[in-house]
Amino acid sequence: MVNLGIDIGNLNFKNPVLTASGTCGYGPELDDFFDVSRLGGIVVKGTTIEPREGNAYPRMAETPSGMLNAVGLQNKGIDYFEKHIYPEIVRYDTHIIVNVNGNTIDDYVSLSERINRLEGIPAIELNISCPNVKRGGMVFGTNLDSAREVTKAVRSVYKKTLIVKLSPNVTSIVDFARVVEEEGADSVSLINTLLGMAVDVNKMRPSLSTITGGLSGPAIKPVALRMVWQVAKAVKVPVIGMGGIMNATDAIEFFLAGASAIQVGTVTFIDPVAPVKILEGIEKYMIDKGFSDIREIIGYLNK
Amino acid sequence: MTKRVEDLKIVENKLLTDDFCVMELESMSKIPDFKPGQFVQVKIEGSPDTFLRRPISVHDVDFIRNRFKMLIQVLGKGTAMLYNLKKGDYLNVVHPLGNSFSIPAGKQKILLVGGGTGIAPLLFLGKYLKNRGFEIEYLLGFRNKTRVILVEEYTNVGKVHIATEDGSVGEKGLVTSHSALKSENISIIYCCGPDPMMHSIADYCRKNNINCEVSLENLMACGFGICLCCIVETTRGNICTCTEGPVFNIRELKW
């Protein structure tokens, strides 16, 4: 038996495989394919106080080894979530983490307060890195003062595990990780998508309605891995790594580089059972290599 | 577990033209209880350019032999790779996906209108309705004589009317100007084809008070409701084509 359990803040996860926000719905969509209670956690779709319709179609473009999206945080708002979605997903035997978004610091604060009251939600992921909204999102995550301010404000009202999701679209992601750590974040998750663009040469116009969008998939994995490695060396809080993980080997690269947990994202669009396959593959690697605890390989490169 | 990911064996890949093929897949286990209008997501192996799966309509189903067919048109690299697959090859499929055309209450005259590769789900739908005692007719549109495919298969199910843009087969013009559309007492039209065609059929049905369902083909990444990329504007807001559709009643659509 290998121990795959890890801790993020005061929260223990039975294993380090989580599904990334925006790539797993709320859980039931994947529960149609496998038992989602096997996962360490589910980070549900980006949520806002008010319902949002998101951006206009087309919102997606396939690119080499990846894809661009410009969904724009479409969601039904916190009231709907609390009333209709939360009661259904709270029964899963896994940590449900809500990805929190807003236009203003007040939005982030009041949403975090609302979620703090939901007993079955042990953590939030503060999304200061969505590239597809005009206000909020990446605006907070690409300015050090704003990142500090929003983390501080949320920390003062949110009592459970606080994860801050960082943007790669900055000169030094390490600086952002340090700032949110200083303001009390229990963990940082990285990376959100890289800002990108595609052009339809037949129609002679941008492929996305929003012109630019967020690049994800294996195309971004080397960038994500480098950033996780840098951040893991620079901060004391656990790092949750993501970006282009397609299989267990990719996931293990992130652990060796310093990630305490990983999030599986875009691959789920192509292979809905990828999260469990990755979990099984990590366990097999541990057994094959003679490790008994996942913590033996976390940050191995930096030891 | 209501959906699954599965390797299916290609039992036949019949090339109809230089860009159309009908591929038949077989499952080792019981195939899903497919409904007409549903689709599958197929994986394109071995090409980083075709990163995502391709959504393909269920064209025909053989529940006894656990087989189903897909009509595929070569439109890009992904579909070109599918066209080149051979009998005996395997294809990784996610299924069953999407909703289905509604089954009318009581006997009504039903017209199934399709264009190009959009004729695909109408074969399964036609057989399904016929088996339940409905009288159906087809109105199929093609560019010209060389593009007319599968007429025999459809004729076995119901009367087939054809429109070609150059008049080389059937009536000249688009399906929207075909006389079969004007025939009286059509109470339901089920339509699948290029967007402009579905838009004009929807306009026609609105004007003439005909109940109409269309099957959309929006760009999608996942096919089961988690990426929120394939949205369509409806009276219920932006909703996913893959889970709330692909079949929509035109009353719901904002076009």
* pLDDT tens digits for range A55-103: 999 999 999 999 999 999 999 999 999 999 999 999 999 999 999 999 9
- A290 shares contact with chain B (CB less than 8 Å): no
Q: Could you report the per-residue pLDDT of B205-216, keeping only the tens digit for each?
A: 999 999 999 999
Residues in chain A closer than 8 A to B248 (CB atoms) = none
Residues in chain B closer than 8 A to A24 (CB atoms) = 226
HSE (side-chain half, CA atoms, 13 Å) at A50: 8
Chain B, 27 to 86: residues with Cβ < 8 Å from chain A are 43, 48-53
Would residue A257 count as lying in a domain?
Answer: yes
- Determine the average pLDDT of the residues in B15-25: 97
Q: What is the CATH number of the domain that holds A99?
A: 3.20.20.70
Chain B, 117 to 176: residues with Cβ < 8 Å from chain A are none
Q: Tell me which residue in A64, A69, A272 faces B224 most closely, judged by beta carbons.
A: A272
pLDDT at A270: 97
pLDDT at A265: 97
Q: Residue B184 pLDDT > 80, yes or no?
A: no
pLDDT at A135: 80
Q: Could you report the per-residue pLDDT of A20-43, keeping only the tens digit for each?
A: 999 999 999 999 999 999 999 999
Contact assessment for residue B181 and residue B175, using Cβ atoms and an 8 Å cutoff: yes
Q: Which residue has the tokens 């560019």?
A: B143
pLDDT at A1: 81
Q: Residue B49 pLDDT > 90, yes or no?
A: no
Would residue A201 count as lying in a domain?
Answer: no
pLDDT at A56: 96
Q: Could you report the per-residue pLDDT of A241-269, keeping only the tens digit for each?
A: 999 999 999 999 999 999 999 999 999 99
Mean pLDDT of all residues belonging to chain B: 95
Instruction: State the pLDDT confidence band at A156, using cuts at 50, 70 and 90.
Output: very high
Q: Could you report the per-residue pLDDT of B99-116, keeping only the tens digit for each?
A: 999 999 888 889 999 999
Residue length, chain A?
303
**How many domains is chain A built from?**
1
Distance from CA of B3 to the nearest CA of A (A): 6
Size of interface A-B (CB pairs under 8 A): 92
Contact flag A32-B227 (C-beta cutoff 8 Å): no
Distance from CA of A29 to the nearest CA of B (A): 7
Least confident of A150-154, A288-292, B103-107: B103-107
Would residue A84 count as lying in a domain?
Answer: yes
Q: Tell me which residue in A32, A74, A270 faces B52 most closely, judged by beta carbons.
A: A270
Could you tell me what percent of chain A has a pLDDT over 90?
96
Would residue A205 count as lying in a domain?
Answer: no
Question: What is the amino acid identity at position A248?
Answer: A
Would residue A131 count as lying in a domain?
Answer: yes
The DSSP symbol for A178 reads H
Would residue A208 count as lying in a domain?
Answer: no
pLDDT at A203: 95
| Marked catalytic residue, from A73, A121, A130, A257 | A130
Residue A199: CB atoms within 10 Å: 13
- Strand locations in chain A, DSSP E? 6-8, 11-13, 17-19, 41-47, 60-63, 66-69, 95-100, 123-127, 161-165, 187-190, 194-197, 199-200, 205-206, 212-216, 239-241, 259-264
- Determine the average pLDDT of the residues in A262-290: 98
pLDDT at A164: 98
Query: Residue A147 corresponds to which tokens in the numbers above?
Result: 């990142």
Q: Which domain holds residue A150?
A: 6-54+71-195+215-302
Q: Residue A72: left if φ>0, alpha if ψ -120 to 50, beta else—which one?
A: left
Does A130 participate in catalysis according to the annotation?
yes
Q: Residue A236 pLDDT > 90, yes or no?
A: yes
Starting at the edge strand that comes first in sequence, how are the strands of the sheet with B135-142 ordered?
B171-172, B159-164, B135-142, B109-115, B186-192, B211-215, B247-249
Q: Which residue has the tokens 């799966």?
A: B53
Contact assessment for residue A173 and residue A35, using Cβ atoms and an 8 Å cutoff: no
Would residue A59 count as lying in a domain?
Answer: no
Contact flag B231-A23 (C-beta cutoff 8 Å): no
Query: Residue A110 corresponds to which tokens in the numbers above?
Result: 């009041």
